[in-house]
Amino acid sequence: MTMTPLHSRERRAALSDPLETYRRMNEIRIFEDQIAGLFAEGLVHGTTHTCQGQEALDVALATTLRVDDVVTCTYRGHGIALALGMTPDSVLGEIMGRVSGCIGGVGGSMHLSDLDVGLLPTFAIVGAGVPVAAGAALAFQTRGEDRVAVSVCGDGATNIGAFHEGLNLAAIWKLPVVFVVDNNVYGEYSRIDTTTPITDLSARAASYAMPGESVDGMDLDAVSEALGRHVARARAGEGPSLLEVRTYRFAGHSRADQAAYRPAGELDAWKSRDPLTLRRSALIDAGTATADQLDEIEQSVRDAIADVVERTSATPEPDASAMFRNVWTPAAASPPGQP
């Protein structure tokens, strides 16, 4: 059975149903698994970075934030885009460089955006979303809007200047922003203990006089509860905070990376706490769903994603002129040499 595609905000609203959170987590996992095959077939140009294992954080963001709040995130943003409500067609279309993509197929895997559900353009530069989220929060504060910005960056980004500048500015001005560090153990190909002198990244919050907390990133309920508190604090005008979400990426850094640098047994140990498995068990234990019902959801998602791949593969690529669209705003002066 396939699902009738929903529009972005309808998909976001659907997450009020606990079974839909499980569906969305499976959608992210199956979607990302499909990307690997498409990349191998040469249907994904350049490179791409998948997020298997990090689904709990993705869905927690979507269930915690309001639709008019905003999120900035990294190049590993497919899961966040899908969780926030972007349709699989619009995300896969962009990844495959097709006109059905969220920005017309000209940005690719690392540049996803849909302002209708609060996703600011994803960033290919490590940590670049941190000051942008602070800037969005400053705009909300200046205009007196009841909105919150969330910056999602990786553990490696906590070692660069933009991270510290963003937190410092946000703390001084008490901006309504939550800085989420998605600690998935590896910054590109380097394990965190080879690049960072501390194991508790939330400790860095103390340098900027803001609350810091670390949470189990494999458990949807744990992430949602912690994130909810930090977002509520920011919305109440109490300023920024730092939340370290401890996850693990099941795939390598990019599709060309087989992650041979991982210690033996590390991946298996983390997979024993797969966020999908934990969510499945929680729903069954609570009596929310039976195993058969969840099996049906998983199969329906597989069928739906297969349909998306088929539709997107048949969609044309943008023509060369597309790269010059959306460069100038309608109110701006025409570029030199053009009427």
Residue reference for tokens 């060369």:
320
Please name each of the domains of the chain with its CATH number. 8-314 (3.40.50.970)
Predicted pLDDT at 162: 96
- Is the Cβ–Cβ distance between 181 and 209 less than 8 Å? no
- Max Cα distance, the chain (Å): 67
Question: Which ranges of the chain have pLDDT less than 50?
Answer: 1-4, 339
What span, in angstroms and rounded, lies between the C-alpha atoms of 61 and 66? 9
pLDDT tens per residue, range 253-310? 887 777 888 899 989 999 999 999 999 999 999 999 999 999 999 999 999 999 999 9
Is there a contact between 275 and 245 (Cβ–Cβ < 8 Å)? no
Amino acid occupying residue 94: E
Q: DSSP E strands: which ranges in the chain?
A: 70-72, 149-154, 177-183, 186-187, 190-191, 212-216, 241-246
d(CA 185, CA 187): 7
State the pLDDT at residue 189: 78
Q: Tell me the pTM.
A: 0.93
N-term to C-term CA, the chain: 52
Q: What is the pLDDT of residue 256?
A: 75
Residue 322 CA: distances (Å) to CA of 34, 42, 120, 334: 27, 22, 20, 17
